[in-house]
Structure 1
Amino acid sequence: MKVFVYGLQVKDEEEYSYAKVLIEALIQEGIGILLYYQFANELRKYSDEFVDIATVARYEEIKKALPEATITLGGDGTILKVVTLIRDLPIPILGINLGRLGFLASVEKKIIKKAVRQFSAKEFTILERSMLELSSNKTLFTSFPYALNDFTLNRRDTSSMITIHTFVDDVLLNSYWADGIIISTPTGSTGYSLSCGGPILFPDSHNFVITPVAPHNLNVRPIVLPDNKRISIKVEGRTNSFMCTLDSRYETITSEYQIDIRKAPFNMKFVQLKGRHFMKTMNEKLLWGFDKRN
């Protein structure tokens, strides 16, 4: 068995200690390791004890090695970054949370050794999470036009609202007067969309959520629709510059852009360790079921 260990930075000695615990636990279980080259360089700032571990940097190298899983050290943002690297490869992700909330990186750093033992003993299931795909009449996100969490379109360089004409299968749904709009997958429903009043969807739901950002009309609310629909967007405003994002990546567009959002032709796979499930994550991260008054 071989795994790809991915991280972006090692901020301090404490984070290095968690990386060391992970690597040593993998070695103890007889699991082969591939390190992301940038993460390997970060580790070398603190010690040379892992310099002999092989490194990879590009999609093609990962495809050739084809590890059984990817283990990330960081937060949900780290997982969104590694998705752009492993792309459509059938490599499930196990996220270890060194950040704050961590809906995707659900393994807490204090149980790294236990998580590795469970993984080695194959005490897990594989969950598939849908992705969204972006296409446009102009060049946009050409290197990887897919997102695990969401697509967003927001105003830029102005305090005025923008108008976002939104169509579903070429039929007008609404013209939103708002600061922006979010189109999220079930995975992304616990992110930016949630903070703007959107609903939480179970990860295996086959839906999109359209959530307006600060809409002017009070009767405009988030809407859930099947993910077999195609969502088309045209935007206009007092300026001709708008901010468009796919997960953590962003580009600037104008009103000349016609954008289509649809379900991607592939899913992203995740490792769910035995004893973990979505409702438990909700309880822990959102403190559901925990009332300090009791």
Structure 2
Amino acid sequence: MPSCPLKIAIFGNECQLHNERAIARVVQCLAQHKAEVYVDEPFLDYLRQSGNLPTYPLTPFTGNHFDAQLALSLGGDGTFLKAAGRIGQKQIPIVGINMGRLGFLADVPASKAEDALNDIFNGEYRIEEHVVMKVEAGNEPFGGNPFAVNDIAILKRDDASMITIGVRVDGERLITYQADGLIVATQAGSTAYNLSNGGPIVAPNTNALCLTAVAPHSLNVRPIVLPDNVELQLSVESRSHNYLVAIDGRSTKLVQGVDIHISKAPYVVKQVRRNNQTYFTTLRNKMMWGADSRNADMPNSHSEEG
């Protein structure tokens, strides 16, 4: 990192009843490094009400009106995704400090936040890039943010009946799903909603998308992995004549008859990783991947903390 004061933007969840002291330690660490700190205004108001903030200049910002060289996400994976959406094409690297529950994207434990920040200020880190998807559907603005880091889900709404989803890949027919929905997940999102529905885990730098049906009404439908540079066209039919599109959990109701187009966005999300933090370590520790009591006494079977 540069020797001049580092500009840092902080995003957070305003429901952190047991994390005020951990957040105060983060701010204190930034103060020790003489960083210029900017905080999302609703989160800053929440922190000031908690009364645990150290005395240090904190500048509020709203919307996308901020500039920084580094962003901190204080919360869980949902907070990280919201921060990524706010940052958008600014290409500001994000550090995910986990103050939520699972914390797969937010992979720095709150107890290790100061160590991680010290490493970053000393230049001991690496940048991992996440592919972003863009969704288009007629003139629907999707709340001004049609981009997804994790997944885009097409889901039934207002009816117990299934929906029909026809899929074309680069113009060629792939399949017509009869299901409760369809998940289009990036590599980063492969361990989220995709995994919960039986989709595959995709390792970093694989450049792939996963298509995974939600409760398909067929024994012959299985998830499929596609290159992440394809263009998808989805045609949806529903008995209720409408359905939901969830972009990283942000839901919008659409009316059938308008095709959905999904493609690779023109930018990536940059995430700061500690040099000693690996994907497979996180996969084992956070997701309990491969856990087997029969291996408890075998070498290298114990969990490692990132």
Q: d(CA) in 1 for partners of 2:31 and 2:56?
A: 14
Shift of 1:35: 1.0
What does 1:57-206 correspond to in 2, within 5 Å?
Answer: 57-59=62-64, 61-62=65-66, 66-141=67-142, 143-206=144-207
Per-residue Cα deviation, 1:132-190 (whole angstroms, up to 9, x for no partner):
01112232415111110111111111111111011111111111000000001111111
Choose the corresponding residue for 1:19, options 11, 19, 23. 23
- Partner of 2:16, secondary structure, is coil
Structure 2 counterpart of 1:275? 276
Q: Which runs of 4+ in 1 moved over 3 A?
A: 48-52, 288-293
Identity over aligned pairs, percent: 35
| Contact 1:8 1:38 (8 Å CA) reproduced | no
- Partner of 2:175, secondary structure, is strand
Shift of 1:3: 1.1
**Are 2:2 and 1:9 equivalent residues in the alignment?**
no
198 and 142 in structure 1: CA distance in 2 versus 1, 3 angstrom threshold: same
What does 1:235-254 correspond to in 2, within 5 Å?
Answer: 235-254=236-255
| Contact 2:149 2:189 (8 Å CA) reproduced | yes
Structure 2 counterpart of 1:37? 41
| Contact 1:44 1:51 (8 Å CA) reproduced | no
Q: Match of 2:178, as an amino acid?
A: W
Shift of 1:127: 1.0
Shift of 1:18: 1.1
Q: d(CA) in 2 for partners of 1:30 and 1:248?
A: 36
Choose the corresponding residue for 1:55, options 60, 63, 72. 60
Show structure 1 runs of 5+ residues with no match: none
Q: Match of 2:130, as an amino acid?
A: R
Q: d(CA) in 2 for partners of 1:8 and 1:142?
A: 20
Shift of 1:81: 0.8
Shift of 1:292: 3.4
Structure 1 counterpart of 2:3? none
| Contact 2:148 2:247 (8 Å CA) reproduced | yes
TM-score by length of 2: 0.91
Shift of 1:5: 1.2
| Contact 1:140 1:251 (8 Å CA) reproduced | no
Q: d(CA) in 2 for partners of 1:136 and 1:288?
A: 37
Q: d(CA) in 2 for partners of 1:50 and 1:39?
A: 16
Q: Match of 1:150, as an amino acid?
A: D
Shift of 1:291: 3.2
| Contact 1:283 1:289 (8 Å CA) reproduced | yes
- Partner of 1:100, secondary structure, is coil
Q: d(CA) in 1 for partners of 2:231 and 2:188?
A: 18
Shift of 1:213: 0.3
- Partner of 1:265, secondary structure, is strand
